[in-house]
Structure 1
Amino acid sequence: MRQTWRWFGPKDLVSIDDMRQAGVEGVVSALHHVPTGSVWTPEEIAERQRVVGSMTDGAPSGLAWEVVESLPVSEDIKKQKGDWRAHIAAWKESLTNLSRAGIEVICYNFMPVLDWTRTDLAYRLPSGATCMRFDVVDFAAFDIHILDRPGAAESFPDFVVEEAARRFAEMDDDRRRQLAGNIVFGLPGAAESFTLDDVRAHLAEFDAISGESLRTHLVDFLSEVAPLAQELGVRICCHPDDPPFPLLGLPRIMSTEADYRRVMEAVDLPASGITLCTGSLGARHDNDLPGMMKRLGSRVHFLHLRNVHLETPHFGGSFYEAGHLEGGTDMVAMIDAILAEERARKAAGRVDWQIPMRPDHGQDILDDLKRKAQPGYPAIGRLKGLAELRGIMTALDHPVVHGAGK
């Protein structure tokens, strides 16, 4: 696996110098300042490459921008309304420009409205570390009583609805605003501009779009962009829903192995593949992550390795982001499956035999608690996760271990 690190650009409080000291091999980034639906120009791409290539004192970093996360797919494309055709044309032009700049892996997602959802961005653990958390009761309180979405109560079990009413009644105005802000934070651009009325308007746009319709729109999108990716020699890869179950009445179409299989079979080109995120997919009890890697591994183009602790036994329940080796996913089995896929690719002569991986998210520990970087993306917490994953990789790929298994 190629060890990479997500970087949000010059405003990121975790610097190029920090990731260089962490020993990563490549950088995952995106042009977040470019409006969704617009073209990523060669000049903007080159500027990001230049910044990635330099440390604070101007010395070469030895790092390069290797993976895009994400080249955003507009809501118009997902709905097939408004400027969706122009946005697909812009996406294809951006893809071409990235390819000409030497970037070969492009991650995207097809989640409507919400890119990801958490109710707490700094949940305190007994150790004193903080992490992101999804509390289904808090979310129900937001959905039913703050957002006041029609029919929201029907989306949750009766016991969750009852507890949500009690919890909402105990919240003061500051807590209600904080909860709404945490949830809306998962909307693109939400940190600066989204209101509850904005959320309601976006949800209304998807009222008539079923899961099957949204899947058809994804297949239509891939039918346009995947042949170009194949021609350019780049690999595009869809990130799963986060979390992988329905929220706010919105359709979810990339939450299970069956979901991925349907889309991969509909547009059956090697260039169109999977961002396998063990954290997102691991928030369902029924997802077998090592098994998915074994069965769909040939189409896995990018890896997010993280772990979650499921707090409730029912579908769509609460979870928090655990240490990389501490949640419900067997990370040793997962990495073993990844290394097996890489060996198979190398034996087959695939040029993409090495799969880029990044330690996804991390708990805020030590000086992270003072730095307060992007939620989920601390320096030390991710370094701890990377070190743990690196140790497993090194051990499983060592001749003593690998040879003994032959």
Structure 2
Amino acid sequence: MEQTWRWFGPPDAVQLSHIRQTGATGIVTALHHIPYGVVWSVQEIEKRKAEIAADPSLGLRWSVVESLPIHESIKIGEGDLTVLFDNYRQSLRNLAQCGITTVCYNFMPVVDWTRTELAHPLPGGGTALRFNLHEFAAFDCFMLKRSGAEAEYAPEVLARARTWFDRSSESDRSKLLANIMAGLPGAYDRYDIPGLRVVLDRYREIDAAALRENLARFLREVIPAAEEVGIRMCIHPDDPPRPLMGLPRIVSNENDLAFILGAVDAPANGLTLCSGSLGAGPTNDVPAIARRFASRIWFAHLRNVAKDPDGSFMEADHLGGDTDMVALVTVLLEEQKRRKDAGDPRWRIPMRPDHGHELLDDVGKPTHPGYPAIGRLKGLAELRGVMTAVSALRDLPL
């Protein structure tokens, strides 16, 4: 698999030279400064490519776009969407013109990946991302005060949420709001409580069926254009794979993925296999899901989570947690061999070590939450070892 690394552009504290030291050669990035719904011009794409290639000795290339974000109006199905669809298609054409042909995106409403703790303490002083359901319930029920929210949580979770809220200070509550808003990208908007209520109100009439149809409409609009120029679109699963704040989530399990890939049954309509997002779902068998949809996996995020019975989870070591990473890597390497044997020139699946613990000298550095250098380096090294061993034992191409 092509070993890649997420980079948030020139402001990223993890520099391109650091990325090369990890052994990764592919860069996963986006034009974060361009507002949602606006065309990515050839000039802006080439500028980012030039930044990545500025030092030829690093041998880096822009391998995957993550993400080309979808405007909220498309998710809601609101108003005349002609210009937004036209702009998205033009961005795809421009990316293809510049030689970038793998595009990761998501269809999560309002918020992206969501955690309640960004620095859960680990033994020895490191930190991890964590989602505590009772803290999220406290936010949803007692800070946001969403109508009907309390009925959506188990009694024991609600009781813990009430206890947390009653004991919390204003500082605790402000920190919880900031943590929940921290998922990047594509949610760069930051809301206070009143602002969040306003944006949630736009979804008042949108249930899972309506959101699913809006996604299918998006696919019908853009996949033919992607197919025409050789772009492989790959949808990212919901993180976590459960409704949040009354917002439906429709990319959460095997049935969801079957619907999406069948909505427009074309190779350009593919999947980002995120083992952490899917792995947080209590009924999701991630290696089995990967095996079923292997032929449509164009990108892989490899990380692990350890789940609690109440629906909480913590980001574990890349080879720890609840997902059998050896089994999953085997599925992906076997799919690569199938593609190579079939003569597909793009047979390698780009992968990246997704998220990582904050460790050693990275503790306290101004990196994006979940994206420190050392924790991801550790994860990539572990995953590289698994890939190398499985490849040697099963005679599968790396």
Is the alpha carbon distance of 1:354 and 1:189 closer, same or farther for their aligned partners in structure 2, counting shifts above 3 Å?
Answer: closer
Contact 1:113 1:187 in 2 (8 A): no
Tell me which amino acid in the other structure corresponds to 2:355.
H
Q: Decide whether the 8 Å contact of 2:67 with 2:185 is kept in 1.
A: no
Measured after TM superposition, the shift of residue 230 of structure 1 is 0.8
What's the counterpart of residue 371 of structure 1?
A: 365
1:253 counterpart residue number: 250
CA–CA distance in 1 between the matches of 2:58 and 2:246? Answer: 45
Q: Which amino acid aligns with 2:25?
A: E
CA contact (8 A) 1:98 1:104 kept: yes
Following superposition, the deviation at residue 356 of structure 1 comes to 0.5
Inter-partner Cα distance in structure 2 for 1:402 and 1:189: 38
Q: CA–CA distance in 2 between the matches of 1:112 and 1:13?
A: 28
Partner of 1:336: 330
3-state secondary structure, aligned to 1:164: helix
- Structure 2 match to 1:228: 225
Pick the aligned partner of 2:238 from 237, 241, 259.
241
* Aligned residues of 1:74 and 1:84 also touching (Cα < 8 A): no
Q: CA deviation at 1:126?
A: 2.2
Query: Does the C-alpha gap of structure 1 residues 231 and 192 become closer, same or farther in structure 2, counting only changes over 3 Å?
Result: closer
- What do residues 1-45 of structure 1 show as CA deviations (whole Å, max 9, x unaligned)? 110000000110000010011111210000000000101011110
Instruction: Write out aligned runs for 1:243-392 (5 A).
Output: 243-311=240-308, 313-314=309-310, 317-392=311-386
* SS of 1:52 mapped into structure 2: helix
Deviations 1:136-184 (A, max 9, x none): 0110111111111111111110111111111100001111111111112
Q: How does 1:5-404 map to 2 (within 5 A)?
A: 5-55=5-55, 60-82=57-79, 84-186=81-183, 193-311=190-308, 313-314=309-310, 317-398=311-392, 401-403=393-395
Alpha-carbon separation, structure 2, partners of 1:150 and 1:270: 42
- Displacement of 1:395 after TM fit? 0.8
SS in 1 for 2:363: helix
Q: State the distance in 2 between where 1:330 and 1:382 align.
A: 18
Any conservation in 2 of the 1:240–1:277 contact (CA below 8 Å)? yes
Unpaired stretches in structure 1, ≥5 consecutive residues: none
Give secondary structure in 1 for the equivalent of 2:58: coil
| Conservation of the 8 A alpha-carbon contact between 2:110 and 2:187 | no
- CA–CA separation in structure 1 for the residues paired with 2:277 and 2:185: 18
Asked if the contact 2:116–2:135 (Cα under 8 Å) also holds between the matched residues in 1, the reply is yes
- 2-side partners of 1:333 and 1:42: how far apart? 40
**Farther off after superposition, 59-68 or 117-126:** 59-68
Cα distance in 1 between the residues matched to 2:233 and 2:395:
34
2-structure distance, mates of 1:326, 1:307 = 6
Aligned residues: 396
Q: Given that residues 181 and 190 in structure 2 are in contact (C-alpha distance below 8 angstroms), is that contact kept between their aligned partners in structure 1? A: no
Q: Is the 8 A contact 2:307 2:314 kept in 1?
A: yes
Rounded Cα–Cα distance in structure 1 between residues aligned with 2:352 and 2:183: 20
Q: 1:262 and 1:226 mapped to 2: Cα distance?
A: 15
Mark the CA change 1:379 to 1:184 in structure 2 (over 3 Å): closer, same or farther: same
| Counterparts of 1:194 and 1:116, CA distance in 2 | 15
- The answer for unaligned runs of 5 or more in structure 2 is none
Return the letter of the residue paired with 2:316.
A
Offset of residue 60 of structure 1: 4.1
* Maintained 8 Å contact 2:141/2:149: yes
Q: Which runs of 4+ in 1 moved over 4 A?
A: 187-193
Cα deviation for residue 87 of structure 1 reads 1.2
Matches of 2:79 and 2:45, distance apart in 1: 27
Normalising by structure 1, we get a TM-score of: 0.95
Q: CA deviation at 1:84?
A: 2.8
Supply the AA of the counterpart residue of 2:192: T
Cα deviations by residue, 1:268-317 (Å, 9 ceiling, x for unpaired):
00111000100000001211111111111000011000000102x24xx1
Q: Indicate the SS of the match to 1:276.
A: strand
**Pairwise CA RMSD:** 1.5
Q: Distance in 1 between matches of 2:395 and 2:92?
A: 41
CA shift in 2, pair 1:187/1:331, >3 Å: closer
Counterpart residue type for residue 394 of structure 2? H
Give the Cα–Cα distance (whole angstroms) in 2 for the partners of residues 190 and 293 of structure 1. 27
**Percent identical residues:** 50
SS of the residue corresponding to residue 46 of structure 2 reads: helix
CA distance in 2, matches of 1:188, 1:26: 19
Whole-angstrom CA distance in 2 between matches of 1:160 and 1:140? 7
Q: Is the 8 A contact 2:219 2:263 kept in 1?
A: no
Which residue identity lines up with residue 385 of structure 1 in the other structure? G
SS state of the match for residue 63, structure 2? strand
Could you tell me how far 1:187 is from its partner in structure 2? Answer: 7.4
Residues 354, 188 of structure 1: CA spacing in aligned structure 2 closer, same or farther, 3 A cutoff?
Answer: closer
Change (3 A) 1:86 1:168: same
Q: Kindly provide the amino acid, as one letter, of the partner of residue 96 in structure 2.
A: S
